[in-house]
Amino acid sequence: MSKPNIILVGLMAVGKSTVGRMLAQALGMEFVDSDHEIEARAGAPVSWIFDVEGEAGFREREHHILDELTRRDGIVLATGGGAVLSPCNRTMLAARGVVIHLDSPLERLVERTRRDRKRPLLQQGDPEATLARLQREREPLYREIADYRFVTDRQGPKVLAREIEDRLRKDNVI
């Protein structure tokens, strides 16, 4: 029996890629990061795509990548923080995998992104205000499609990956 896709959603800097990589390794599954796939195919970083094509251009690329990746079986997929903005993406993600919402307190996100220059949405204005706005706007969308929610705060990614694995095994998801 094949394993279902495990799809990680949440704001930037919650640990989707780090936790996802560790979870995939523990489960013997392939790990894929949608932003990295977009960058690899575009031959350019996400920030460049935002600069040249705007957010709309990036979101179009993101939709196509998510559609392709979620057609696979048995992957752990880390999505970009804004992947849930599109109703079509939300429907697709919810239908094609077990969706895990990684959440984190705002203060922790600010701390994790303080020196990060690669996140286009944080390069204008006050990063803390931007993160607070994104959290307000996106949290209901994450909750709408999430099968599970885990808070990433002070525990390490290995501990969190183990918690997720244990819960999925307990619920006979994997």
Q: Which domains does the chain have, with CATH numbers?
A: 6-168 (3.40.50.300)
Which pLDDT score is estimated for 1?
Answer: 58
Which pLDDT score is estimated for 50?
Answer: 87
Query: How many helices and strands (H and E) does the chain possess?
Result: 7, 5
Averaged pLDDT, groups of 10, the chain, 174 residues long = 90 94 97 97 92 93 98 96 96 98 92 70 75 94 98 89 97 93
Do residues 9 and 93 touch, judged by C-beta distance below 8 A?
yes
CA distances to 76, 77, 102, 166, 171 from 174, rounded to whole Å, are: 12, 15, 19, 10, 8
Which pLDDT score is estimated for 47?
Answer: 85
Which pLDDT score is estimated for 117?
Answer: 63
CA distance 74 to 12: 24
CA distance 78 to 62: 12
